[in-house]
Structure formats: structure tokens, C-alpha cells
Amino acid sequence: MDPGGVMKRTRKFALAVAAGAVTAGALVAAPALAAGPGGPGDPRPQGQGQYMGQYMGRGNPDGYCMLFDRSAPKGTLTAAQKSALASAAEQEKLAVDLYAAFADQYDLRVFDRIVAAETQHLRAVRTVLARYGVTDPTQGQAAGEFGSASVRASYDRLLAQGKSGAQAALKAGREAEQARIDALRKALSGLTAPDVKQLYTNLLRAERMHLTAFERWIG
């Protein structure tokens, strides 16, 4: 099997999901694929870092984290919490589009691996949006396009930052992850809906893993 071909197909699938061409299933799993330096596919010599095995602690070296299960009880969301849920979809799409762009420019598998996970994150958020009848602001949006002007501005800034070199792209990824961590922590405050709390808690755990992966690659 050609690893490069697999990664290109992964990126195409990720962008198809981000554009809304692929719908979410009843049960959404996120492969945690953020291997750090020294892991499988790392182009650098061994010993420069440690592979992030057991990434999500499911007994699989690549790991799996169940983000959302439809059996989780549905709760009640305020207008502000529905807005935060819609914003979470845009933030996940930002990650998919940004990391796919960097994966096309740099031979660093960390971007391919994390974009695959972020694709599943977006599908999970979309599943919950549909459950609460909240309009998906990312539906039908092409790569790099967003309904929110502020998200578009963040994407453009991070993309431009990452175009100056691989290290800059890794730092842009780190910044994007930290921003989503901060947003998720804020969104969890005062939240009572069990299913949305489950989603955000698992997303927060995953994004922290991604942040660690970027930090290890930055060195």
C-alpha cells in the first residue's frame, strides 16, 4: 500500500466531510492519530521524541475515543449554548481545513493524522447539532470558507502564519488547538445537557492530546 496515496485520500475525505458531503453516523468514533516524533511515519531519526502510543487509552496503539453515543440522554440548551455548539462546528472545520492545507505543503504526518481525528470531531458535532435542531453553519462551505467572519479571519491568519515554514505551521496548529481547548472549557461552564457534556468532555480530552502532539513535534 502506498502511504502517500492513503494520506491523500484521507485529506480528500476530510475536506468532503468539512464541506458537508459526508454525513455523520449514529455512533461517532474519533481515531486518535496524533503520533509525535519517533512514531510510525516520522521522517526524522529515532530518539528525537516519543511515540504517543495509547493516545486515547482504548488498548489500541492508535486508540479510539467514542465522542458521542445517541444513547446519551438529551437535555436542554439555552440560546447561548446552541450558539456555542454551532461555533464548535466552525472551529472543528477550521482545524480540518487548516491541517489539510499544511499536510499538502509539508511532509509531516502529524497533520495527516490529526486531520483524520478532527474530521471525526466535526462529524460528532454535526450529529449533536442535528439532534437539537441547530443549523449547521459549516454545511456546504468549501475549504477555507466559514459563515463567521471572525473564524474566517482566524483561519486566514493561521494559514498565512504556517506558510512560512514547517515549524511555523506546527506552531499555528498548537495555537489552533489551544483556542479550541479554551472555547470548550468555556462552553462546558453551566452546561447541563448530558449528551453535549459528553461530547465536549471527550473533545476537550482529544484536543489536549493534539496539543501535546504538536508540542512534541515543535520540540
Q: Is the pLDDT of residue 199 over 60?
A: yes
How many whole angstroms separate alpha carbon 85 and alpha carbon 186? Answer: 12
Cell of 56: 486515547
How far is Cα 55 from Cα 17, in angstroms, rounded to an integer?
23
Non-local (6+) Cβ contacts of 197 within 8 A are 188, 191
- Predicted model pTM: 0.75
Q: Are 37 and 216 a contacting pair, CB within 8 Å?
A: yes
Using N-to-C axis directions, what is the helix angle for 109-131 and 79-105, rounded to 10°? 160
Going from N- to C-terminal start, the domains of the chain cover 3-218
Q: Residues 1-11: pLDDT tens digits?
A: 455 554 554 45
Topology given in CATH for the domain delimited by 3-218: Ferritin (1.20.1260)
HSE, side-chain direction, 13 A CA sphere, residue 19:
11
Residue range 11-61, pLDDT digits in tens: 554 555 566 644 444 334 433 333 344 443 333 323 333 323 323 322 222
Distance CA(111)–CA(118), nearest Å, equals 10
Dihedral sign, Cα of residue 38, residue 44, residue 49, residue 52: negative
Is the pLDDT at 209 greater than 60? The verdict is yes
